[in-house]
Structure 1
Amino acid sequence: MKKQIVAALDGSKAGRNVADWAAAHADAFGLALNLVHVVPPDWAFPARSERKLAIERAEDLLGSESGRIAQAYPGLEVSSTQLSGEPAETLAGLSSEADMLVAGTDRGPGTEGQGYGSVSFQIAVTSNCPVAVVPEMASGVRKGVVVGVDGSSDSLVALDLAASEAQRMDEDLVIVHASGPDPRPSSVSGDSDVLADAVRNVKERHPGVSVRERLDTSRGPGEALVAAARDARLLVMGCRGRGGLRVLLGSVAQHVLLNVQCPTILTRPS
């Protein structure tokens, strides 16, 4: 079975960005694309007629988006799937057979609230494959691929993926390490070592990539990545822990995913 990218469509305006981003990614890597829409279960609808209408709309959405993507990418293998269930749980259940899962988000710069119910956030932290969260972005020039490093094995996974993406997109790679607003004096040299090791790793494995390093001493990791990715084309970050919201509540990943600045890929643990 050909590996595939699963794109979660919800019928929103941002959903078209999800389909376009996922299609471009699948086409670039020679993967199939599966457009998926999840209709909530019966209990979510006050009347049976409302669920029937939701199913009909889902069919129309998947049909129109499949046709649009197939026309834009003639060589891409495109399929569509309509499922029933709780959206985040159902989509995460597809992650074991996917190369990547792509979802949209209504979160964006300046959005308030914790957002623990955000479907994209739940998908990102409970899936078994890398997850890309694609926001609706304002038009403008975007440059660079940003990746956060902290010296862990998980951040090395993110670093390698980010370097590969930067090379493919012909963009600079911006490696970010944050020491926080009040770093201990003894940690300064350690922070420099983390960045130096990351740069060395990229030069060895991806020698053609142009690298810029950024040590942020005024912010914590989450805030530093959000700031660095404000005008980026892509942000990549590692995920610690294997599935389960309790692992990431209050984490760097939570902060970034609830303040999405650009398409953001959350890699899986090494």
Structure 2
Amino acid sequence: MAEKYLIGVDGSEHSRVALAWGLARAAERNADVELLHVADDSFLSESVAFLSEAQQASQQMLDSETAYAKTLGFTGNITGTAVVGHPIAELEAASKRVDLLILGAHSGSRFAGSFFGTRAVKAAATAHCPVAVIPKHEVSPGAGIAVGIDGSEASKVAIAYAAEAASMRGVPLIAVYAWMAPLTPGLEYLWSEELVEAQRSAAEEAIAIGVAGLAERYPDLTIERRIVQSPPVAALVQVGEEVETLVVGSRGRGGISRLLLGSVSHGVLQALPCPVIVTRATA
């Protein structure tokens, strides 16, 4: 069964960058594509007339973006959905039926229903599938796919996703492990060179475990290991400026805490140095 990608569209330049990115990836993997436009009903009257007009406007936007998508040369299957509702709730519901959700990231927009700012972060936190958030600026294709490793179950899911994607695209996988010596005021003197070296050794072991088995599964995959003494967000953002895609894991959560991404994935999405894909561990 073919994979299916869901791309949020709103007619903005940021959205169209994400649309082009998503269509290119879908073409590589022979995936089907569904476009989704959500007319945000947060500030709309609940009268039937207003909601009917909003639905018509949403459909018009979807039709326009579907026509635009076809000009980009994508020859696969494209369907579309136009709805009136809360963008995050609609995205969460739609994410149950797809393999990847793709959104553009906005610093602000005049378009109603745009997936900008914290909406992309919230969508990544609530979605039931991996979420790709695409910045407006261009990146270098073929520069590799980076993934953050920390030994958690969430990072294992991210590693598996990144390795498969890197192998599929024929680009290097860059596995990044960031660590910092504890900075406890007044106790800095307890950190000797021996303890720092022990910390480095632990980091090397963790990254070795993280990438174990990948060489056998993907014999043609080049794996670069990077151990960085730096805060995780800073380390991943720096690497993200060099690669075509960055993959980070987010722990699965239930209830209202689903709205909260981990500090690392949240920080990386706020900086968004390149297309970032957030994967989710099983709750």
1:161–1:93 Cα change, 3 Å = same
Q: Which residue of structure 1 lines up, in the alignment, with residue 189 of structure 2? A: none
Q: Which residue of structure 1 lines up, in the alignment, with residue 236 of structure 2? A: 225
Return the alpha-carbon distance in structure 1 between the equivalents of residues 2 and 223 of structure 2.
33
SS of the equivalent of 2:274 reads: coil
1:121–1:245 Cα change, 3 Å = farther
The one-letter code sitting in structure 1 at the alignment partner of 2:227 is: L
Identity of aligned residues (%): 30
Q: Which residue of structure 1 lines up, in the alignment, with residue 112 of structure 2? A: none
TM-superposed CA distance for 1:146, in Å, is 0.6
Q: Which residue of structure 1 lines up, in the alignment, with residue 192 of structure 2? A: none
Deviates further, 57-66 or 249-258: 57-66
The one-letter code sitting in structure 2 at the alignment partner of 1:178 is: A
Return the alpha-carbon distance in structure 2 between the equivalents of residues 100 and 139 of structure 1.
20
Return the alpha-carbon distance in structure 2 between the equivalents of residues 107 and 208 of structure 1.
39
Pairing partner for 1:211 from 223, 227, 230: 223
Name the Cα RMSD after superposition: 2.8
Return the alpha-carbon distance in structure 1 between the equivalents of residues 130 and 255 of structure 2.
15
Q: Which residue of structure 2 lines up, in the alignment, with residue 191 of structure 1? A: 203
Q: Which residue of structure 2 lines up, in the alignment, with residue 92 of structure 1? A: 92
Structure 2 contact 9–65 (Cα < 8 Å) conserved? no
Q: Which residue of structure 1 lines up, in the alignment, with residue 174 of structure 2? A: 174
The one-letter code sitting in structure 2 at the alignment partner of 1:201 is: G
Q: Which residue of structure 2 lines up, in the alignment, with residue 113 of structure 1? A: none
Gaps of 5+ in 2: 109-115, 184-194
Number of aligned positions between the proteins: 261
Gaps of 5+ in 1: 109-115
Return the alpha-carbon distance in structure 2 between the equivalents of residues 3 and 46 of structure 1.
38
Q: Which residue of structure 2 lines up, in the alignment, with residue 7 of structure 1? A: 7
SS of the equivalent of 2:10 reads: coil
Q: TM-score, normalised by structure 2?
A: 0.81
SS of the equivalent of 2:171 reads: coil
The one-letter code sitting in structure 2 at the alignment partner of 1:99 is: D
Deviations 1:131-187 (Å, cap 9, x if unpaired)? 111111146677111100112222121112111211222221111000125485343
Counterpart check, 1:33 vs 2:33: yes
1:107–1:155 Cα change, 3 Å = farther
Q: Which residue of structure 1 lines up, in the alignment, with residue 128 of structure 2? A: 128
Return the alpha-carbon distance in structure 2 between the equivalents of residues 228 and 192 of structure 1.
18
Pairing partner for 1:235 from 223, 240, 246: 246
1:117–1:137 Cα change, 3 Å = closer
Return the alpha-carbon distance in structure 1 between the equivalents of residues 261 and 29 of structure 2.
32
Return the alpha-carbon distance in structure 1 between the equivalents of residues 146 and 139 of structure 2.
19
SS of the equivalent of 1:44 reads: coil
1:255–1:175 Cα change, 3 Å = same
TM-superposed CA distance for 1:30, in Å, is 2.3
Deviations 1:54-109 (Å, cap 9, x if unpaired)? 5554333322321232343453110111011111121111111111111111259x
Structure 1 contact 8–103 (Cα < 8 Å) conserved? yes
TM-superposed CA distance for 1:28, in Å, is 2.1
Counterpart check, 1:246 vs 2:265: no
Q: Which residue of structure 2 lines up, in the alignment, with residue 111 of structure 1? A: none
The one-letter code sitting in structure 1 at the alignment partner of 2:153 is: S
1:162–1:15 Cα change, 3 Å = same
TM-superposed CA distance for 1:26, in Å, is 2.0
Which runs of at least 4 in structure 1 moved beyond 4 Å after TM superposition? 46-57, 138-142, 181-184
Q: TM-score, normalised by structure 1?
A: 0.85
The one-letter code sitting in structure 1 at the alignment partner of 2:147 is: V
1:213–1:2 Cα change, 3 Å = closer
The one-letter code sitting in structure 2 at the alignment partner of 1:145 is: I
